[in-house]
Every structure is written in structure tokens, then in C-alpha cells.
Homo-oligomer: A and B are copies of this chain.
Amino acid sequence: MSVRVVVADDQELVRSGFSMILDAQPDIEVVAEAGDGAEAVAAVERHAPDVLLLDIRMPVMDGLEAARRVCAGSACKVVMLTTFDLDEYVYEALYAGASGFLLKDVRRDDLVHAVRVVAAGDSLLAPAVTRRLVADIVRRRHEEAAADVTPRRLEVLTAREVETLRLLARGLSNSEIATTLFVSEHTVKTHVSNVLSKLGLRDRVQAVICAYETGLVAPGSP
């Protein structure tokens, strides 16, 4: 059973070139071509192909919008094609639901391979795109790691003071903190005062902000 493909590109030469390469494969069949995004969406609706090869820059409706509609309305996999591998294009394409992202200077073997991979339900990116994507992931991790390190500002605090600050940052009053920690309210006030003076803060409001900024508490955690 062969893979049915629709090719969409506003440049007729590019379009027919890709079609010829794919049609030359015994297990791939190009069932339609499209010259803009609207035609591409219509062709997918009519032919229900397995894979849509989609240029990003196209008249009438651009490739990203077409990708969104196709991915939302059918089981057809989308492979984006572009001359420029701008990061914004990549992310927009992935958010739109694309399964592949290739540059137009792709080798014919890689193109054929990509169609087979996405038809099988997997994903595939151009190596240069993969490299930047991986770099982004690692960068995020480093930022998160840096955020984990920031609480070193809090290491001047004792364990009890940190505990007090944590409850403080959840909106508890001194008396509520006292009840929670099974101590007197005065003890809580002492801890709070120590926290404020040690961190150079003015009041409990600034303490709450500090707790969020250092990551002691995080949005969404409660």
C-alpha cells in the first residue's frame, strides 16, 4: 500500500520537481498538487492523502495557516518546506501540528525518507533545525538550573525561618503560621523579623516577592 502525497508550493518548478522525485518511488504516489494554501487545504479534503508537503511562503493562504487547518481537520501528516530556516517558522510550524520541517536544499533521499517517516507517524526535522531545537532545550534546562541555584540568597536563613517564609508566601497571617508550626505568635514574629532583616526587606509583602523570585515557591504550586 503506497503513501499518498499532496505537494503544495507556489513555484511551479519546485512543485513539479518534488513531485517527480516522490512519484519515482514505488511506494509513494503524488495524488495532487496545489499552488497556494487554500488549494492545499481543498486538495487534502478531496483526496484525503497521508502526507502534505507544504511550502511556508505562499499566496492567498500561507503554509502555516494551511497546516493549522489540515492538522485540525484531518489525519493527514504535514511536512513543512522552507528556504529560510528561521526559528519562528519552526516553532509556529510545530505549534500548527506539523510532523516534519525541512529546508528546500534537502537531498532527494532525505525528502523521500521524510515522507516515509511521517507517514509512519514519527517526526523528522532538518539537521540544522534539530541542532537549534536541541540547543533551545538545553538552554531552558540551564535556565531552570540557574533558577534552582538562586535560592542561595536564602541560605543565610535557618530552616525554621525558611519554613516561616514559605508559609508567609502562601498568604498566612502570623497567627495562622503560629498555629501551623505549633508555636506562639510571638515566635513567628521573631522569625519573620529575622527573615526581613537578613534579606534586607521591608515588610512581609517584599518577603513574598522574594520567595517567588528565588523559586522558594512557584506559581501553580498551591
Where the two chains meet, the residues of A that have a C-beta atom closer than 8 Å to any C-beta of B are 91, 94-95, 97, 99, 109-110, 113, 117, 120-125, 127-128, 130-131, 133-134, 137-138, 141, 147, 168-171, 173, 201-206, 208-209, 212-213, 215, 218-220, 222
Measured CA separation A8–B36 after assembly (Å): 49
Question: What would be 6 A-B contacts, judged by CB atoms less than 8 Å apart?
Answer: A91-B137, A125-B134, A171-B203, A171-B206, A213-B219, A213-B222
**Contact assessment for B128 and A122 in the assembled complex, using a CB-CB cutoff below 8 Å:** yes
The CA-CA distance from A110 to B202 in the complex, in Å, is 61
Tally of this chain's copies: 2
Nearest CB in chain B to that of A118: its residue: B127
Task: Given A127-B124, A130-B130, decide whether A95 and B141 contact each other with a Cβ distance below 8 A.
Answer: yes
CA distance A189 to B127 in the complex (A): 58
Q: Min CB distance, A143 to chain B, in Å?
A: 9
